[in-house]
Chain A
Amino acid sequence: MENPSQKRLTLSSEMDAGASVDRISSLPDSVLCHILSFLPTTKYAVGTSILSKRWKFLWTGVPYLLFDDDRVHKSPERVRKFEQFVNKVLLLSTVQNILKFRLCGNEFIEPFYVNAWISTAIIRNVRVLKVQVFYYCRADVVIELPSCLFTCRTLEDLELWDNLDINTPNLVCLPRLKRLTLSDIQYRNDESVSKLISGCPILEFLDICRCSFDNVTVFVISSPSLKQLRFRGPDDFPENLHYKVAINTPALESLDYSNHIWQHIGVNFQNITSLVRAKIDVEAFPGDDAPQSAFCNSLVELVQALHGVKILTLSQKTMNALSYATTCLSTRRFEGLTKLVVGAGCCEWTCLQDLVEAAVNLEVLDFTKNWHREHTIESCWRDPIEVPRCLITSLKQISLEELEGCEDELAMIGYILKHGSVLNRMHLSSKVGGLSTKFQLTQKILLFPRRSPTCQIAFCRQAGPRSLFSKS
């Protein structure tokens, strides 16, 4: 080996400790572009063009073109500048294969430009495309989506938001599309939707959020490959039309269904043989009137159609609506159900009992409440006539949140402990009251007789307000 100090002299300048050497610029172009691609929007990347000669045109190689304009302002001047910025970036960008193109813009953008920009993205083999230009004030303006969008061979993820008008051409072929999000979209007719969805042979994730009066009466979701479906119904629906949703998805594993209208829900599960997880949230309209029984019965039908799932999550409002139904939930057994997550305050306990009775193989029961309603019935907890089968044979874990410490709750907890033969753990948490109240509650509960010898009771600290349904 040669003299180490000699060796050191021949090393590259990168070895110099503490010298003010520009190390970053010596990285290859591809790496620098890669670094720039982690910046949140293209604006930041373009901003690096004034750093030095080396950086002047580096940004043109970044395959992420993300344009976010503040959507709220009303200044046409700003919109013009934004348009010019996007135009200039697209002209200078040397990327032939755009990985991600996002346009979140203000409503005053020229529709002509939006169309041109989307076309550019598609010509340049875009993989992930998101368009969100909300034409709120300018309701008369219609953005024509380029028809090449519906036959794009490279598109893998498409998100269309806010009042875009979809006129699906006859031929829809999106061979690589796996994820599709349609939020507040206007369709031309029923076929627009079904054509679009059936034109995606390998679609796996579908997120639909309907707006009121979107020209679709029967919403058909038919896809052999779909695995995850998130469906949010409109806030309003023309009364003369019958609200119908048909779901024909043999490969579907996860369903998240949410609806806001009181009308008769005509959800037809034509084929959901693979369904594992289902989440149902039917939000009530403001007001304290009892819902119509037709509606509630249709809701019962809906939930019963999900008898084969493993994990079922029902929001408190859903449970509340179910409790007004005249048909009984437990006419159907939920043999596959192993985990049940519900929102249930004391008004919903009757319905909960029905469910627990129907879920003969239930292993985990979680419930919480985030919506308190004054109970009209005097005593909410009534011991069921027969001990539910799952309590004797399968229920291992139960967790109750948002305890208030009232008599009804204690009665329920006592009943569960008394009959739960295989119960392993009971998690309880409460936010109400100070330490002493909680302590007393704890003491009472610990004294209840327990059927199961292995049962442990854990009092958890509740982290804070937690909704059963996370915001997304």
Chain B
Amino acid sequence: MPEGPMAVVKPEMKPYIWLQTTDGSIQQVEEEVAMFCPMICREVLQTGMGSSKNYAISLPQRVNPAILGLILDYCRFHQVPGRSNKERKTFDEKFIKLDAKKLCELTSAADSLQLRPLVDLTSRALARMIEGKTPEEIRETFNLPDDLTEEEKLEPLRNLTDDPRIRLLNRLYARKRKELKERAKVKNVEVEEEQLVDERPVDELLSFINGDGESKGVKAAKNKKKNRRRKDLSGNFSSNDSNCNQFKEPNHLPSGYLIGDIDNATSQSKSAVFQDSASVTFSPQLEFDNELDPAMEEELDREVEDFARRLNSVWPERMQEMLSLGQERRPVPVSLNGNGAVK
């Protein structure tokens, strides 16, 4: 690297330091301001760079010109020795009023320049943004991808208790996950795969589950659904198949019972579920093989869908509750309980 001997000999003579950002643009900065950054300071003292335009100090990649401007503003203020703590604090508070995007960039740049006080300041501001927000809100603020599976999100719950509801829930989720996987596979084969998402409104589903709704209306809706489903059953048989296998486990627990249990249903609702499905033969020992009644299958799928969706929407609050140990609630399944109101 070409050296700048003049710069090394008398650095004090040069009041400006030259800095180059990754986009190639070069700017000159007052020496005392630039030297406030440990990284720049080291570069100047160790290599003698920065004394002229040709020997500008290359700044790390994470520093772009706009952010560099902000950083230099910070340095310019704080490098003045005579300021009182109050003045500095007031400046910092105003300085930090930036949006999440800028704050992240600023943190990144300050970190690469090793400007510790600024990293602390921005980190604190970012922490304030995280604190008190639900996970959904945090994801929105920072554009985080929602890439955890529902089961992964639930993990903290796993070892909390041996509550049978948790086990049921986990089983449902495992089944759902498999379903999603299969569906993804099938999707690649058939482009126009009808979505299995239940398009009925949540309330209707709820009332169906709880047996509050009119049996007629519900029946009609269900039949409609049945008809729609029938078309694709052949295509989906494989997925149903794997789902069926899942249920070989709890032989003593008929699938209908699963739903009823989660519901914490009253006997009324339990009977409602099975009364309406005229074609379903409810027997305590359901044989889960390829001849599973599609209507039953359909109901189970619906339950899981609904459950999943509900979970997604109430999850943030649930998580807060779980972690804050603030309530003596039982785990999530209770949300399906009573009046259809989501707690």
Contacts and interface: CB of A to CB of B under 8 A. Distances in A.
Interface string B127-145: 1101100010011001111
Identify which of B100, B111, B130, B320 gathers the most chain A CB atoms within 10 Å of its CB. Answer: B130
Interface stretch (B102-110, B168-176, B201-209, B334-342): B102-110
Contact of B101 (A23, A44, A75): A23
A15 B146 contact: no
A458 interface: no
22 contacts: A14-B64, A14-B108, A15-B64, A23-B142, A25-B144, A26-B108, A31-B123, A35-B126, A38-B126, A39-B127, A43-B323, A43-B324, A50-B153, A50-B315, A51-B148, A52-B139, A52-B147, A52-B148, A53-B145, A53-B147, A78-B328, A82-B325
A384 to B, nearest CB: 41
A11 B23 CA distance: 7
Contact of B148 (A38, A46, A56, A77): A56
A35 B127 contact: yes
Contacts of B124: 38
Contact of B156 (A22, A34, A49): A49
Interface string A246-287: 000000000000000000000000000000000000000000
Identify which of A24, A27, A37, A85 gathers the most chain B CB atoms within 10 Å of its CB. Answer: A24
Interface string B231-246: 0000000000000000
B130 A44 contact: yes
Contact of A47 (B105, B127, B145, B319): B319
A8 B124 CA distance: 31
Given A27-B111, A81-B325, A82-B325, A35 B105 contact: no
A80 B101 CA distance: 40
A24 B127 contact: no
Interface string A44-81: 10111111111110000000000001100001011001
A26 B112 CA distance: 13
A36 interface: yes
B328 A77 contact: yes
Given A11-B23, A23-B101, A31-B108, A38 B123 contact: yes
A50 B148 contact: yes
Given A23-B143, A35-B107, 12 more contacts: A11-B23, A23-B101, A23-B104, A31-B107, A34-B119, A35-B127, A38-B123, A38-B128, A46-B156, A53-B148, A69-B325, A84-B160
B291 interface: no
Interface size class of B (residues with CB under 8 A): 35 or more
B190 interface: no
B192 interface: no
B199 interface: no
A135 to B, nearest CB: 20
Contacts of A373: none
B138 to A, nearest CB: 6
A11 B64 contact: yes
Interface in A78-110: 78, 81-82, 84-85, 88
Given A48-B130, A51-B139, A88-B159, A56 B323 contact: no
A21 interface: yes
B267 interface: no
A12 B147 contact: no
Contact of A1 (B22, B24, B320): B24
A20 interface: yes
B152 interface: yes
A44 B108 contact: no
B135 A47 contact: yes
Q: Which 8 A-B pairs have the closest CB atoms?
A: A38-B127, A23-B104, A35-B123, A24-B142, A52-B144, A20-B143, A22-B143, A50-B153
Contacts of B146: 52
B149 to A, nearest CB: 10
**Interface of A, helix, strand, loop or mixed by DSSP:** helix
Contacts of B54: none
Interface size class of A (residues with CB under 8 A): 35 or more
A344 B259 CA distance: 75
Interface string A211-230: 00000000000000000000
A28 interface: yes
A44 B101 CA distance: 22
B50 to A, nearest CB: 20
A23 B105 contact: yes
Nearest to A84: B160
A200 to B, nearest CB: 29
A75 B146 CA distance: 35
Interface in A369-386: none
B79 interface: no
A7 interface: yes
A380 B180 CA distance: 88
Interface string B20-39: 00111000000000000000
A2 to B, nearest CB: 8
Contacts of B156: 46, 49, 88
A12 B104 CA distance: 14
Contacts of A12: 61
B23 A50 contact: no
Contacts of B123: 31, 34-35, 37-38
Given A43-B324, A69-B325, A35 B24 contact: no
A28 B143 contact: no
A35 to B, nearest CB: 4
A40 interface: yes
A386 to B, nearest CB: 43
Contacts of B138: 48, 51
B143 A51 contact: no
A50 B135 contact: yes
Contact of B111 (A2, A28, A39, A78): A28
Nearest to A12: B61
A47 B22 contact: no
A52 B160 contact: no
A46 B320 CA distance: 11
